[in-house]
Amino acid sequence: MIYERILNLPDLLRKKSILLLGPRQTGKSTLGLRELPNSLYVNLAAADTFREFSGRPELVRQRLLPSTKTIFIDEAQRIPEIFNEVQVMLDKNKALRVLLTGSSARKLKRTGINLLPGRIWQAQLFPLVHAELGTSRLMDRLSRGSLPGIIDSEDFRQELKNYVGLYLDEEVRAEGLVRGIGDFSRFLTVAALYNGHQINFTNISNDTGIKINTVRSYFQILQDTLIGSLLPSFQDTQSRKAVASPKFYFFDLGVVNSLLNRFEITPENELFGASLEHLIYIELKAFLSYHQLDEELTYWRTHSKIEVDFIIGKKIAIEVKSTKRVTNRDEKGLHALNEDVKLERKIIVCNESAQRISDSGVEIFPIEYFLEKLWQRQIL
């Protein structure tokens, strides 16, 4: 199925050339080819094209025709030197636009590559979000994840298993990111167990038998290859001291479920609440990125274990609850945070059937209604 994506490449390219990052199979190539059908296309993921250009990156410049208005270079990080050629072309032709895509920022960071400051903007493509799916498909997403080629698959479990294997083979082993692929594979499973939790490197080291410095480097690999991201801790409270450790989330729920071999996520089981929180995190992160908003996304947890799941800037606090009936107890973290930070909105996303406002001013949203209002820009 073809999905209309929120990220508007032609609109962005009217302003600047773009480096579009995103994990494998989020749809970068599909989007680029569909939106830029008349561009000069260089697919560095193809073995023959990679061999041709790896020794002669200047070919991309030499094949540029006077009539060419856009160039699409797929998996550009595979040949970092090609960025220098892009700079030459952009400096020579101010009207030219280049779309570069990549599934890993690690190689770009490690080689000190020219990322064309002032000439190119960065954007990110996420798995499918609520507004792109057309309908909620909440339970599908909690079990299968939201990757375009997997959510509609009749054999999504095998597809996800293959995805993890492809990541280990092509991103990790082929790029030489780790010495022992067995250790990293074991780490991935333990990292999935910590999904949505504060990172404790010592505990993970003990659980895996892997040295703590190696564990740290493995988490960095997950971030650099866009498979996971950190949610920082909100620190701007005076009366209650907050913990400093970030939380870690994988980029897709299906990948976590595959690593842990669990797919039966229902409102009746204990996995539902954590999975729902993960989904809301992905939606918020994608929303802020797609709308180019500078508000930081954080969480808050005190040493006395009072917690708020998500804070957007210093304006909006969001708690995610699996309950069908929100009580005053569920509002405790929001009110505690509001004592230090005068919030504009306090929100609970939950499994209730209708929106309401509690007597203490907390807005209570059913899950799907919250997602609709988020993408209609009525939350932020």
Q: What is the pLDDT of residues 225-281, one digit of tens each?
A: 899 999 999 999 888 889 999 999 999 999 999 999 999 898 888 899 999 999 999
Q: What is the rounded CA–CA span in Å between residue 178 and residue 175?
A: 8
Burial of 238 (0-12, 13-18, 19+ CB in 10 A): exposed
Give the structural domain span for 301.
131-375
175 confidence band (pLDDT: 50, 70, 90): low
Query: What's the chain's average pLDDT?
Result: 92
Show which of 77, 101, 125 is a domain's final residue.
125
Asked if 44 and 50 count as a contact pair (C-beta separation under 8 A), the reply is yes
Residue 100 has phi, psi (to 5 degrees) of -115, 135
Query: Which whole-number Å values give the CA distances from 243 to 193, 237, 311, 321, in the listed order?
Result: 20, 11, 15, 21
Q: Which amino acid is at 302?
A: T
Instruction: Name the nearest CA neighbour of 190 among 181, 179, 200.
Output: 200
Query: Which whole-number Å values give the CA distances from 270 to 32, 130, 267, 283, 320, in the listed order?
Result: 40, 23, 8, 21, 14
Query: Which residues make Cβ contacts (< 8 Å) with residue 190, sequence separation at least 6?
Result: 204, 207, 208
Show which of 125, 140, 165 is a domain's final residue.
125
Q: What is the CATH number of the domain that holds 120?
A: 3.40.50.300
Pair 104, 140 in one domain:
no
End-to-end CA, the chain: 30
- CA angle, 58 as apex, 57 and 60 as ends, to 5°? 85
Q: What is the rounded CA–CA span in Å between residue 27 and residue 50?
A: 20
pLDDT value, residue 170: 77
* Mean pLDDT of the region 330-344: 95
Q: What is the rounded CA–CA span in Å between residue 273 and residue 323?
A: 8
pLDDT value, residue 178: 78
Show which of 73, 103, 125 is a domain's final residue.
125
Pair 216, 78 in one domain:
no
Pair 82, 163 in one domain:
no
Pair 117, 47 in one domain:
yes
Asked whether residue 111 carries a pLDDT value surpassing 60, the answer given is no
Q: At what angle do helices 212-224 and 181-193 cross, to 10 degrees?
A: 80
* Mean pLDDT of the region 161-183: 81
Q: Is residue 1 part of a domain?
A: no
Pair 142, 40 in one domain:
no
Question: 27's torsion region: left (phi>0), alpha (psi -120 to 50) or beta?
Answer: left
DSSP 245: P
pLDDT value, residue 182: 86
Asked whether residue 107 carries a pLDDT value surpassing 90, the answer given is no
Domain total of the chain: 2
Beta bridge partners of 20: 101, 123
Q: At what angle do helices 253-260 and 271-290 cross, to 10 degrees?
A: 150
